[in-house]
């Protein structure tokens, strides 16, 4: 019988790692490479050889160091560690980063029914949280959007109350959309988080903060998506969060007004997307640099726009955004450097702008639909004397555009409109995507190439662009033919006017991807 401590009786009770050691500047040996090895077996020379590298026993580390190491692991790996070590199990009960979603638990979308997958996800989350002490949680990311038929308000209440404590930094809760009006996370939990909370993100729920929510002096980021809340309740949240740097509101359809108070001195980015009942936005935060908006043109007040440099106004599902930018935007955001606009319909001819964007260097305009007078954009360019880059997308090709030039039209007989006195000395790069044989589009391009002494690059793209793999996007037969018509129009009306100093490209449908029987 082997004696005590002999190789046959030795049973590992911890993780053992083979390590190559080196000495740091303090004279302490530290590992430069660790590789997992199986437990020692009888006759294994690694156990007694003087030449073998020393074994590193993870279980012998101090508790705080072991907890820190485990906190750096993804949640599934930390759970596996808890299954093989009692000390890791104790540390697991204080695991700081709880991320719960289908990917975390390796649930495959093609295995079993959707109900079975949702049930498995909810059961696993419930089991983990029941065995967690609730102490030391820094991050809670809960994504149960796929669990609509399984999850209940009882589950959510117990999970949030067990994990949201003082010391937590980040809270993200994404619920099934049917719960939006039914579940209201207790705002008292935010008070429990105390002054440590740095970010909160809610998807598909109600949220009704009051002035009793307490001080959230460390809160830097707020994201509310499909959240049932009002302008007054958002004000209550902002009143206790003096360090906010980032605010995002998306599809908050019960919010009719939004006020960003002046005490938010650190706020740099504001995003407001598709809040359908929103009517007014008042911004008093003095250091806002980026404002991203999606919705119909509405009353926007910016009391101090001296730091506002980047602005996006998406009106893809609405009309009049270009007109709004032309008539209103300069007075409320005069220091802009980058402006992106999109509109579904513009039914006017653009007049001379009342003021100028003296600092604007980059302008992007996206159209979708038909019936635009692109030539009127010359007035916009004229109001941006410092503009260096201009990008225009005419939108997806629509059959029956009204101003398309017939193929057999004589170039000499085409009356090209011009604006006397127009000259631009800063514009260097112009790109027009989905270029087609539009008279007003040709007039705009000619006006630019003939009167822009600083122009260095001109790109006219007649295709539908490329996907993320670099492959040409699909074009039907009609669109391919119209693209070839656009190429012919460029050769007939534009090529001869482009100065030799300009790098000029015309992109046409790829012969390999789009083979048309013309």
Q: The CATH number of the domain where 196 resides is what?
A: 3.80.10
How are the residues of the chain apportioned to helix, strand and coil, as percentages rounded to the nearest 5? 30, 25, 50
Q: How far apart are CA 291 and CA 313, in angstroms?
A: 9
Query: Do 310 and 290 meet the contact criterion of CB atoms below 8 Å apart?
Result: yes
Number of CB atoms found within 10 A of residue 303's CB: 12
Question: Which pLDDT score, from 0 to 100, does residue 409 have?
Answer: 52
199 in the same domain as 68:
no
Residue 209 lies in a domain: yes
Residue 137 lies in a domain: yes
- If phi over 0 gives left and psi between -120 and 50 gives alpha, with beta otherwise, what is residue 393? beta
The answer to the question of residue 210 being in a domain is: yes
Q: Which range marks the domain in which residue 219 is found? A: 101-255
Tell me the per-residue pLDDT of 91-105, one tens digit each, with 9 for 90 and over.
667 778 888 988 887
pLDDT in tens, 247-302: 999 999 999 999 999 999 999 999 999 999 999 999 999 999 999 999 999 999 99
Domain match, 70 and 114 both: no
User: Looking at residue 452, what is its pLDDT?
Assistant: 95
Do 77 and 135 fall into the same domain? no
CA distance 180 to 192: 23
- CB atoms < 10 A from the CB of 397, how many? 19
Q: Please indicate, yes or no, whether residues 233 and 106 belong to a single structural domain of this protein.
A: yes
Please give the residue that has the higher pLDDT: either 72 or 185.
185
Q: Are 507 and 462 in contact (CB under 8 A)?
A: yes
334-355 burial code (b ≥16 CB/10 A, e <16): bebbbbbbbbbbbeeebeebee
Give the pTM. 0.80
Residues 194 and 91 occupy one common structural domain: no
Q: Does one domain contain both 127 and 216?
A: yes
Q: Are residues 203 and 114 in the same domain?
A: yes
- Band of pLDDT at residue 352, cut at 50, 70 and 90: low
Q: Which pLDDT score, from 0 to 100, does residue 476 have?
A: 76
Cβ contacts of 339 within 8 Å, gap of 6 or more: 311, 312, 313, 325, 329, 357, 360, 362, 363, 364
pLDDT value for 13: 40
Name the nearest CA neighbour of 392 among 324, 448, 319, 476: 448
Domain count, the chain: 2
In a domain, 362, yes or no: no
**pLDDT score of 27:** 44
Nearest to 185 by CA among 233, 232, 137, 221: 233
Q: What is the mean pLDDT of residues 116-136?
A: 87
| Nearest-angstrom CA–CA distance, 214 and 199 | 15
pLDDT at residue 4 tops 60: no
| Residue 397 pLDDT exceeds 60 | no
Closest CA to 169 of 149, 199, 148: 199
Cβ 273 vs Cβ 249: under 8 Å: yes
| Integer angstrom CA distances of residue 206 from 5, 190, 233 | 62, 14, 11
Same domain, 123 and 69: no
Mark whether 245 and 206 lie in a shared domain. Answer: yes
Asked if residue 201 and residue 72 are part of one domain, the reply reads no
Give the Cα separation of 333 and 504 in Å (integer).
33
Q: Which two tokens stand for residue 272?
A: 């407001």
């Amino acid at each position: 019988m082997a004696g005590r401590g002999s190789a046959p009786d030795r049973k590992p009770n911890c993780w053992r790692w083979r390590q190559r050691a080196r000495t740091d500047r303090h004279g302490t040996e530290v590992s430069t490479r660790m590789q997992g090895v199986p437990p020692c077996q009888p006759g294994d020379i690694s156990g007694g050889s003087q030449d073998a590298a020393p074994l590193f026993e993870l279980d012998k580390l101090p508790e705080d160091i072991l907890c820190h190491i485990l906190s750096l692991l993804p949640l599934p790996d930390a759970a596996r560690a808890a299954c093989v070590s009692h000390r890791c199990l104790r540390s697991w009960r204080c695991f700081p980063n709880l991320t719960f979603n289908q990917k975390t638990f390796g649930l495959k979308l093609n295995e079993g029914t959707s109900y079975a997958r949702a049930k498995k996800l909810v059961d696993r989350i419930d089991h983990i949280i029941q065995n967690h002490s609730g102490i030391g949680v820094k991050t809670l990311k809960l994504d149960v959007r796929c669990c609509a038929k399984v999850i209940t308000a009882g589950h959510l209440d117990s999970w949030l109350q067990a994990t949201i404590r003082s010391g937590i930094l980040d809270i993200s809760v994404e619920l099934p959309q049917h719960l939006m009006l039914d579940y209201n996370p207790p705002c008292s939990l935010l008070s429990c988080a105390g002054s440590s909370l740095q970010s909160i993100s809610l998807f598909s729920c109600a949220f009704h903060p009051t002035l009793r929510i307490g001080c959230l002096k460390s809160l830097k980021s707020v994201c509310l998506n499909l959240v049932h809340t009002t302008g007054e309740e958002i004000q209550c949240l902002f009143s206790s969060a003096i360090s906010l740097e980032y605010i995002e509101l998306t599809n908050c359809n019960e919010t009719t007004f939004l006020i960003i108070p002046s005490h938010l001195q650190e706020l740099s980015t504001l995003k407001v997307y598709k809040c359908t009942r929103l009517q007014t936005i008042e911004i008093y935060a003095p250091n806002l640099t980026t404002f991203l908006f999606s919705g119909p043109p509405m009353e926007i007040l910016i009391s101090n726009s001296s730091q506002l440099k980047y602005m996006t106004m998406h009106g893809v599902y609405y009309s009049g955004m270009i007109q709004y930018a032309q008539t209103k935007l300069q007075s409320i955001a005069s220091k802009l450097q980058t402006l992106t606009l999109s509109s579904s319909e513009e039914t006017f001819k653009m007049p001379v702008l009342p003021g100028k964007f003296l600092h604007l260097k980059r302008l992007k305009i996206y159209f979708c639909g038909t019936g635009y007078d692109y030539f009127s954009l010359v007035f916009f360019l004229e109001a941006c004397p410092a503009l260096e880059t201009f990008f225009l997308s005419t939108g997806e090709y629509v059959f029956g555009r009204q101003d398309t030039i017939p193929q057999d039209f004589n170039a000499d007989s085409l009356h090209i409109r011009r604006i006397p006195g127009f000259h631009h000395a800063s514009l260097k790069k112009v790109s027009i995507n989905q270029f087609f044989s539009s008279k007003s589009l040709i007039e705009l391009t000619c006006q630019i190439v003939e009167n822009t002494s600083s122009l260095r690059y001109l790109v006219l793209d007649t295709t539908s662009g490329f996907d993320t793999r670099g492959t040409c996007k699909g074009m039907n037969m009609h669109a391919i033919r119209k693209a070839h018509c656009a190429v012919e129009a460029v050769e007939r009306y534009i090529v001869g006017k482009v100065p030799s100093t300009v790098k000029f490209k015309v992109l046409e449908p790829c012969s390999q991807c789009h083979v048309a029987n013309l």
